[in-house]
């Protein structure tokens, strides 16, 4: 048995006596020894002092009652067409041996349906294999070690929200004024993402805000494009606005950026973004908050835009110019937004330029120690130059990131045309003898 920060146990050794209790004891299950040990190595620095054992599927079942000694299990399951048996059969088998054992599924070749089925089989969470982030996974495991998942089989029992027509399953994310839940729609009989934006005071539910929210929801519902998340329903109560939309178990582009991206992948994503923005702008909508965490991924690597600012007021001059208040997403804000001017399609193209540069280089073009420093760079600083191998995209980025909207590319269609020209010039140079 080798030892790093965590203890890695070979499959046949997992049936023996278990080590002394520690800060946490977790089991990784997969028939590929290299894959499960690699995951254990990634988790070890994030779970200091924990015991991480690994074994095959059969080895896990052979543990029998000893499974109860583990705080959680991570099952890496293959959902590919070559699978001869349903990989999810493992989940109820493990939970039958150790009632209440929290099981996290990491899916290879899975899709949205795989995630839904995994959660219905009793898993507490699901990640596509290519989006796994060790820190986030470690946080879930440590929560299990602290007993969070021992008290109930799902997170639903700890959620107090009640909304007719939906059964809330668990909380996915939280911001100061909004909470995103995973819920099941009674009408659709499928899982949806339910965003709830609570009113901060009685004035928040003004007639003007209700009308704006309803108007923008209806506009967005008219955008029939795969690059925009499907919206199923929305409503306003005395306490909150709510929006039910497509659920994305594959996560966001921000999560995908934790892993290296090839140039081809970057061009694929920004081309899809250009097409999505073209459809959105044609419907008279400005996104206003384009950033990687608002760009979701489907199982086939298709993108879908979410969070169009429907549940919050437009940015106000006093908000964005106050260095002590952080409103919106300062790393992706166009200079005219910072000045408090009404945003139009060109502010979305500026944000697209920020995302494009970040995808190409792995770094934001404008950063700083404070929000005020970041905003000042948006207004004054020249974006950093691309490395020589990517210099063919520099002129395009310069036009996207122009400080004055009048000097910027005017439309998503113009961006797509310029991107196509940059790609063609590269292909022509490659073909030249």
Kindly state the greatest CA–CA separation across the chain.
Answer: 71
CA dist., res. 91 & res. 81, Å (int): 19
Nearest to 158 by CA among 145, 144, 146, 148: 148
| Calpha distance 130→116 (Å, rounded) | 18
Residue found by looking up tokens 């009113």 in the block: 199
Give the strand pairing for 51-55 and 25-29. Answer: parallel
Single out the residue of 255, 252, 235 nearest to residue 243, CA to CA: 235
Is 31 a catalytic site residue? no
- How many CB atoms within 10 Å of residue 35? 16
What is d(CA 152, CA 156) in angstroms, rounded to the nearest whole number?
8
Nearby residues of 403 by Cβ (< 8 Å), 6 or more positions away = 335, 379, 380
Q: 158: Cβ–Cβ under 8 A, 6 or more apart, which residues?
A: 152, 171
Exposure string over 58-84, b if 16+ CB within 10 A, otherwise e = ebbbbbeebbebbbbbbbbbbbeeeee
Helices (H) and strands (E) in the chain, counts: 14, 14
Catalytic residue among 233, 289, 307, 348: 289
Length of the chain: 433
Q: Which helix (H) or strand (E) holds 77?
A: strand 72-78
C-alpha dihedral, 264 to 265 to 267 to 269, nearest 10°? 160
**Torsion sign, CA atoms 144, 149, 151, 155:** positive
Residues known to be catalytic: 289
């Amino acid at each position: 048995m080798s030892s790093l920060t965590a203890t890695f146990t070979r499959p046949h050794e997992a049936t023996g006596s278990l080590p002394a209790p520690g800060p946490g004891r977790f089991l990784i299950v997969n028939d590929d020894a290299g894959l499960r040990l690699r995951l254990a190595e990634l988790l070890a620095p994030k779970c200091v002092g924990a015991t991480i054992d690994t074994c095959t599927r059969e080895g896990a079942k052979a543990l029998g009652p000893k499974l109860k000694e583990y705080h959680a299990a991570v099952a890496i399951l293959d959902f590919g067409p070559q699978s001869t048996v349903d990989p999810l059969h493992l989940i109820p088998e493990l939970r039958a041996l150790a009632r209440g054992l929290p099981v996290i599924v990491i899916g290879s070749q899975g899709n949205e349906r795989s995630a839904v089925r995994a959660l219905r089989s009793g898993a507490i969470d699901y990640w596509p294999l290519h989006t796994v982030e060790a820190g986030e996974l470690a946080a879930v495991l440590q929560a299990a070690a602290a007993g969070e998942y021992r008290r109930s089989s799902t997170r639903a029992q700890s959620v107090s929200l009640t909304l007719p027509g939906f059964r809330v399953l668990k909380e996915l994310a939280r911001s100061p004024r909004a909470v995103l839940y995973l819920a099941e729609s009674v009408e659709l009989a499928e899982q949806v993402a339910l965003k709830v934006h609570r009113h901060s005071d009685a004035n928040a539910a003004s007639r003007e805000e209700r009308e704006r929210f309803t108007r923008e929801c209806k506009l967005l519902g008219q955008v029939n494009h795969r690059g925009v998340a499907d919206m199923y329903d929305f409503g306003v109560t005395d306490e909150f606005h709510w929006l039910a939309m497509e659920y994305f178990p594959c996560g966001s582009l921000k999560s995908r950026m934790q892993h290296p991206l090839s140039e081809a992948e970057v061009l694929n994503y920004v081309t899809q973004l250009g097409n999505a923005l073209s459809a959105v702008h044609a419907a008279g909508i400005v996104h206003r908050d384009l950033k990687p965490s608002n760009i979701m991924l489907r199982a086939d690597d298709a993108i879908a835009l979410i969070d169009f600012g429907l549940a919050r007021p437009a940015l106000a001059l006093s908000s964005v110019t106050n260095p002590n208040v952080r409103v919106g997403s300062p790393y992706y804000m166009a200079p005219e937004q910072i000045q408090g001017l009404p945003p139009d399609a060109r502010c979305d193209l500026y944000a697209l330029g920020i995302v494009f540069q970040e995808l190409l280089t792995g770094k934001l073009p404008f950063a700083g120690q404070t929000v005020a420093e970041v905003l000042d760079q948006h207004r004054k600083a020249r974006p950093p130059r691309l490395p020589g191998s990517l210099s063919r995209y520099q002129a395009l980025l310069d036009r996207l990131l122009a400080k004055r909207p009048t000097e910027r590319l005017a439309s998503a269609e113009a961006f797509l045309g310029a991107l196509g020209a940059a790609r063609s010039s590269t292909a022509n140079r490659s073909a030249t003898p």
